[in-house]
Protein backbone atom coordinates (compact mmCIF):
# COMPACT_ATOMS: atom_id res chain seq x y z
CA UNK A 1 0.00 0.00 0.00
CA UNK A 2 2.85 2.39 0.83
CA UNK A 3 4.36 1.80 -2.59
CA UNK A 4 1.12 2.79 -4.33
CA UNK A 5 0.83 6.03 -2.34
CA UNK A 6 4.49 6.86 -3.02
CA UNK A 7 4.01 6.04 -6.70
CA UNK A 8 0.95 8.32 -6.92
CA UNK A 9 2.81 11.16 -5.22
CA UNK A 10 5.70 10.68 -7.64
CA UNK A 11 3.35 10.87 -10.62
CA UNK A 12 1.70 14.01 -9.25
CA UNK A 13 5.14 15.57 -8.70
CA UNK A 14 6.22 14.71 -12.26
CA UNK A 15 2.97 16.18 -13.66
CA UNK A 16 3.49 19.39 -11.67
CA UNK A 17 7.05 19.68 -13.00
CA UNK A 18 5.73 19.20 -16.54
CA UNK A 19 3.05 21.86 -16.11
CA UNK A 20 5.58 24.28 -14.62
CA UNK A 21 7.99 23.60 -17.51
CA UNK A 22 5.30 24.38 -20.08
CA UNK A 23 4.37 27.59 -18.24
CA UNK A 24 8.03 28.64 -18.06
CA UNK A 25 8.56 27.90 -21.77
CA UNK A 26 5.52 29.98 -22.75
CA UNK A 27 6.62 32.83 -20.47
CA UNK A 28 10.12 32.88 -22.00
CA UNK A 29 8.61 32.75 -25.50
CA UNK A 30 6.26 35.63 -24.61
CA UNK A 31 9.12 37.74 -23.26
CA UNK A 32 11.22 37.08 -26.35
CA UNK A 33 8.26 37.94 -28.60
CA UNK A 34 7.67 41.15 -26.64
CA UNK A 35 11.21 42.23 -27.41
CA UNK A 36 10.75 41.36 -31.07
CA UNK A 37 7.40 43.08 -31.51
CA UNK A 38 8.79 46.27 -29.97
CA UNK A 39 10.98 46.61 -33.08
CA UNK A 40 7.83 47.41 -35.10
CA UNK A 41 6.89 51.06 -34.74
CA UNK A 42 4.20 53.42 -35.97
CA UNK A 43 4.77 57.09 -36.75
CA UNK A 44 2.50 59.21 -38.93
CA UNK A 45 5.58 61.13 -40.13
CA UNK A 46 7.20 57.93 -41.46
CA UNK A 47 5.63 56.07 -44.39
CA UNK A 48 2.17 57.56 -43.69
CA UNK A 49 1.87 55.73 -40.38
CA UNK A 50 2.38 52.24 -41.77
CA UNK A 51 4.14 49.78 -39.46
CA UNK A 52 7.91 50.09 -39.98
CA UNK A 53 11.01 48.46 -38.59
CA UNK A 54 12.67 50.43 -35.74
CA UNK A 55 11.56 53.81 -37.12
CA UNK A 56 13.45 53.19 -40.34
CA UNK A 57 11.69 53.54 -43.67
CA UNK A 58 11.38 49.79 -44.15
CA UNK A 59 7.71 48.88 -43.95
CA UNK A 60 6.65 45.53 -42.59
CA UNK A 61 4.77 45.04 -45.86
CA UNK A 62 7.91 45.46 -47.97
CA UNK A 63 9.90 43.04 -45.80
CA UNK A 64 7.12 40.45 -46.01
CA UNK A 65 6.99 40.88 -49.78
CA UNK A 66 10.74 40.26 -49.99
CA UNK A 67 10.37 37.10 -47.93
CA UNK A 68 7.36 35.98 -49.99
CA UNK A 69 9.35 36.49 -53.20
CA UNK A 70 11.74 33.79 -52.02
CA UNK A 71 14.62 35.87 -50.75
CA UNK A 72 16.41 34.32 -47.80
CA UNK A 73 17.12 36.15 -44.57
CA UNK A 74 20.78 36.30 -45.53
CA UNK A 75 20.02 37.86 -48.93
CA UNK A 76 17.78 40.52 -47.42
CA UNK A 77 20.32 41.35 -44.72
CA UNK A 78 23.06 41.64 -47.34
CA UNK A 79 20.95 43.99 -49.50
CA UNK A 80 19.66 46.12 -46.61
CA UNK A 81 22.57 46.69 -44.21
CA UNK A 82 20.43 48.64 -41.72
CA UNK A 83 18.33 45.57 -40.97
CA UNK A 84 19.10 42.86 -38.43
CA UNK A 85 17.90 39.26 -38.31
CA UNK A 86 15.58 40.08 -35.40
CA UNK A 87 13.94 42.76 -37.57
CA UNK A 88 12.89 40.09 -40.07
CA UNK A 89 11.62 37.88 -37.25
CA UNK A 90 9.69 40.85 -35.85
CA UNK A 91 7.98 41.38 -39.21
CA UNK A 92 6.91 37.74 -39.31
CA UNK A 93 5.68 37.93 -35.72
CA UNK A 94 3.76 41.13 -36.51
CA UNK A 95 2.09 39.43 -39.49
CA UNK A 96 1.24 36.48 -37.27
CA UNK A 97 -0.37 38.76 -34.68
CA UNK A 98 -2.34 40.62 -37.35
CA UNK A 99 -3.74 37.35 -38.67
CA UNK A 100 -5.13 36.43 -35.24
CA UNK A 101 -8.67 37.43 -36.12
CA UNK A 102 -11.90 35.55 -35.71
CA UNK A 103 -13.26 36.29 -39.15
CA UNK A 104 -11.79 37.51 -42.43
CA UNK A 105 -14.17 39.11 -44.90
CA UNK A 106 -13.42 39.32 -48.59
CA UNK A 107 -12.06 42.70 -49.60
CA UNK A 108 -13.85 44.37 -52.49
CA UNK A 109 -11.63 46.24 -54.94
> Per residue in 11-49, pLDDT tens?
676 766 777 667 665 656 565 677 888 899 998 999 988
Q: Answer with the residue of higher pLDDT: 9 or 46.
A: 46
- List domains and CATH numbers for the chain: 2-97 (1.10.10.10)
For residues 96 and 68, the model is more confident at 68
* Contact present, 46 and 102 (Cβ < 8 Å): no
Phi, psi of 71 (to 5 degrees): -70, 140
- What pLDDT does 19 receive? 74
Question: What would the pLDDT profile of 43-86 be if each residue is shown by its tens digit?
Answer: 899 998 899 999 999 999 999 999 999 999 999 999 999 999 99
Q: Choose among 70, 56, 64, 58: nearest CA to 94.
A: 64
Amino acid sequence: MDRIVFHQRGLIFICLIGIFSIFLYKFILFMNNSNLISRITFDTAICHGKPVVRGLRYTVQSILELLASGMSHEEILADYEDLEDDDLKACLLFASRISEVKKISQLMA
